[in-house]
Amino acid sequence: MPKKFSVQIIGGGLAGCEAAWFLANKGIGVKLYEMRPKVSTAIHQSGFLGELVCSNSFKNLSLNHASGILKAEMKKFDSLVMQVANQSTIEGGTSLIVDRETFMMKMNEMIINHPLIEVIREEVVSLDLQEYTIVCSGPLTSDALFHYLAKNIIKSAEEDLYFYDAVAPIVKLSSIDLNLAYYKARYDKGVASYLNCPLSKDEYKIFYEALISAKLANNHPFDRVYEGCLPVEVLAKRGYEALLYGPLKPVGLEINHQRPEAVIQLRQDDFHKSLYNIVGFQTSLAFKEQERVLKLVPALRNVEIIRYGVYHRNTYINSPKILSNYQSKEFPKLFFAGQITGVEGYLESASSGILAASYLYSYLKTKAIIPLSRNTIMGGLANYLNCPNQTFVPMHANFMLVEEEVSIKKRDLRNQFYYERSIQQIDEYLERIGRLS
Ligand SMILES: Cc1cc2nc3c(=O)[nH]c(=O)nc-3n(C[C@H](O)[C@H](O)[C@H](O)COP(=O)(O)OP(=O)(O)OC[C@H]3O[C@@H](n4cnc5c(N)ncnc54)[C@H](O)[C@@H]3O)c2cc1C
C-alpha cells in the first residue's frame, strides 16, 4: 500500500500514540515525531513510545467511577492504550494495573508496525502551520518547542504555562520486611494485591518530623503545584494529619483487628512481582533523604530504591484561550491533545488523543468538527477545555464534567445511567464519523 502522510503528530506518548492509531486506522497516513531516545526528558527512562512516566495504574475499573466509564468509552473507539493495557495487566484489585515494561514494549511495537504510521525519531523545535498537525508533546515538552509555542502559538507569558509535578519512588520487593508488611486490599475489596507498611503512633510521629524537615533536591518553587497530585512533603507540611486523611490513610487496612496510625501502601510494578511503587508518595526530596525518611518505616528499614522520586515542570497551555475542540482558533490545521491541553492523567491524556484525532479527521473530511456529546466523559473533558475559566487548572475524569446531571438519588443507579447514556452517545457519534469515510 503506498504511504500517504497527511498528518503529523508531535510526541509519541499516550496521546500521540492514540491519535496516530485512530487516524491510521481510518486510512490516514501519519508521521509521528518522537525525540526520544536521541533527546530525553528529565523523567522518561526509555526510548519506547507510550512510556508510563510514574505509576503503573490506570485507576478504577468500576463503572461506578468516572474513570471506569472513561475506559469503556475509549474501548468503543478501539483505543490502543486499552488494548495494550488489557494484554499487560497484573493483579490490582479494583484498579487496572499494568506491567510497565510489557505495556510500553507492546505500545511501541503496535505503532512502529502499523503500515500507515512512520515514526521519526527527531526533536521538533517549530511547526509548519500549513500541515495538519497534532501537538502531543506532553507535560515534559522540550524546552525548544516550549519556547516556540509560547512565542508563536500561545502568545502568553511562559510563567502561565506550567505547574510542578513529581513522581514516586520504586523499590525492590526483596528489600521489604514481609514480617512487618502485609498484603491487603482496603476494606478487603477485591484481591489483596497492595502491600501495606504500618506505622504506630510513635513511628508516625518520627516519620512525619523527618519528612517535613528533610532536604529537597533543589529549591523548587512550591507556589505552582497541582492540588490533585501534591508532593508528599508538601502535603505533610499542611498539617500533622494531612497524610492520615490522604495517601497514608489507615482506614480499611486493619491488621489483626487493629488499625495502625498510618499505612504506606505499595503497588506491584512488574509481572515478576520484584518491584513495587509507593502509592501517593511523589516527592522532590533529595535522593539520600528519600532513603533516610523511608527507612524510618519499620517494614522499609532496609529498603532499596530502584528509581527515586523526582520533581519536574509540567507544561500545559491555556486551552480555553487558544483552542476550541482541541483545534487552534487561529491556525485551523493545528490541533493539540494530551496533558499539554490541561487534561490530567494517563487515560485522560490518551482519550484526548483519540478525540482530537477524530475531530481532525472530521475537519479533514468536511471542514467542520463533529463534536462528541458533553454527556460523555471524553466529550465533557473536551468541553472543559473550551470554557473560559479564570484560573484554568488541569482536570481529570469526573462526573461534574457531563452536561446534564440527573436527579437519580442512588449513586449506583445514577452512575449506571451515566454509563448507558454515554455509550449510546458514543455509538451515535461513531456512526456519524463512520459515514465520513
Ligand atoms: C512527573 C509526572 C508524573 C506523572 N505521573 C502520573 C501518574 O502517575 N498517573 C497519571 O495518570 N498521570 C501522571 N502524570 C500525568 C500524565 O498522565 C502523564 O504525563 C502522561 O504521560 C501524559 O501523556 P501525554 O501523551 O500528554 O504526554 P507524554 O506521555 O509525556 O508524551 C509526550 C511525548 O512527547 C515527546 N516530546 C516532547 N517534546 C518533544 C519534541 N519537541 N519533539 C518530539 N517529541 C517530543 C516526549 O518525549 C514524550 O514521549 C504525570 C506527569 C508528570 C509530568
The per-residue pLDDT for 157 is: 67
SS (H, E, C) the chain: CCCCEEEEEECCCHHHHHHHHHHHHCCCEEEEECCCCCCCCCCCCCCCCCCCCCCCEEEECCCCCHHHHHHHHHHHCCCHHHHHHHHCEECCCCEEEECHHHHHHHHHHHHHCCCCEEEECCCCCCCCCCCEEEECCCCCCCHHHHHHHHHHHHCCCHHHHEEEEECCCEEEHHHCCCCCCEECCHHHCCCCCCEEEEECHHHHHHHHHHHHHCCECCCCCHHHECHHHCCHHHHHCCCCCCCCCCCCCCCCCCECCECCCEEEEEEECCCCCCEEEECCCCCCECHHHHHHHHCCCHHHCCCCEEECCCEEEEECCCHHHHEECCEECCCCCEEECCHHHCECCHHHHHHHHHHHHHHHHHHHHHCCCCCCCCCCHHHHHHHHHHCCCCCCCCECCCHHHCCCCCCCCCHHHHHHHHHHHHHHHHHHHHHHHHCCC
Model confidence pLDDT, tens digit, residues 358-389: 999 999 999 999 999 999 999 999 999 998 76
Quick one: which atom of ligand 1 is closest to the CA of 44? Answer: 47
Q: How far does residue 11's CA lie from ligand 1's centre (Å)?
A: 9
Residue nearest to atom 27 of ligand 1 (CA): 138
Predicted local confidence at residue 94, as pLDDT: 87
Q: Which three cell numbers stand for residue 36?
A: 526520544
Q: What is the bridge-based pairing of β-strands 5-10 and 132-135?
A: parallel
Closest ligand 1 atom number to CA of residue 125: 41
Query: 168-309 is classed in which CATH architecture?
Result: Beta Barrel (2.40)
Closest of 312, 120, 301 to residue 220, by C-alpha: 312
Say if CB 250 and CB 198 are below 8 A apart: yes
312 lines ligand 1 (CB under 6 A): yes
Q: For residue 339, how far is its CA from the centre of ligand 1 (angstroms)?
A: 7
Q: Does residue 36's CB lie within 6 angstroms of at least one atom of ligand 1?
A: yes
Question: Ligand 1, atom 19: nearest CA belongs to which residue?
Answer: 139
Q: What is the spatial distance between Cα 371 and Cα 229, in angstroms, rounded to a whole number?
A: 30
Interior angle at CA 286, CA 281 and CA 288, nearest 5: 95
For the sheet containing 89-90, what is the strand order?
Answer: 57-60, 95-98, 89-90
Q: How many angstroms separate the Cα of 410 from the Cα of each of 377, 404, 413, 414, 417?
A: 20, 16, 5, 6, 11
Report the C-alpha gap between 405 and 272 in whole angstroms: 43
Q: What is the pLDDT of residues 241-290, one digit of tens each?
A: 999 999 999 999 999 999 999 999 999 998 888 999 999 999 989 999 99
Whether residue 415 has its Cβ less than 6 Å from ligand 1: no
Q: What is the pLDDT of residue 218?
A: 72
Residue boundaries of the structural domains of the chain: 5-162+314-434, 168-309
Task: Look at the block and give the residue holding cell 523526582.
Answer: 310
Q: Is the CB of 43 under 6 A from ligand 1?
A: yes
Ligand 1 mutation target, pool 8, 70, 124, 140, most atoms within 8 A of CB? 140
Which of 38, 51, 54, when mutated, tests ligand 1's pocket best, judged by the most ligand atoms within 8 Å of its CB? 54
Res 406: pLDDT: 78
Distance 363 CA to ligand 1 centre (A): 26
Does ligand 1 have an atom closer than 6 angstroms to the CB of 167?
yes
Nearest CA to ligand 1 atom 35: 11
- Among the listed residues 63, 166, 171, 178, the one whose alpha carbon sits nearest the alpha carbon of residue 418: 63
Q: Is 142 in the pocket of ligand 1 (CB under 6 A)?
A: yes
What is the position in ligand 1's atom list of the atom closest to the CA of 166?
1
Q: For the structural domain made of 5-162+314-434, what CATH number should be given? A: 3.50.50.60
At 370 the pLDDT is 96
The whole-chain average pLDDT of the chain stands at 92
Ligand 1 atom closest to the CA of 144, numbered from 1 = 41
Report pLDDT for 408. 85
Task: Compute the distance from residue 347 Cα to the ligand 1 centre, in Å.
Answer: 11
| Residue in the structure block whose three cell numbers are 468538527 | 369
For residues 276 and 278, what is the distance between their CA atoms, to the nearest angstrom? 7
pLDDT of the residue at 223: 61
Q: Provide the pLDDT for residue 131.
A: 95
Query: What residues of the chain score a pLDDT lower than 70?
Result: 1-5, 157-160, 219-224, 389-391
Predicted structure pTM score: 0.85
> 315 C-alpha to center of ligand 1: Å?
10
User: What is the pLDDT, as a whole number, of residue 318?
Assistant: 86
338 lines ligand 1 (CB under 6 A): yes
The response to whether residue 59 sits with its C-beta less than 6 Å from ligand 1 reads: no
Other C-beta atoms closer than 10 Å to the C-beta of 36 total 19
The verdict on the CB of residue 309 being under 6 Å from ligand 1 is no
State pLDDT tens for residues 150-182.
889 988 766 667 777 788 999 999 999 999 999
CA of 372 to the centre of ligand 1 (A): 24
Instruction: At 305, list the grid cell.
Output: 530504591
Ligand 1 pocket, residue 395 CB under 6 Å: no
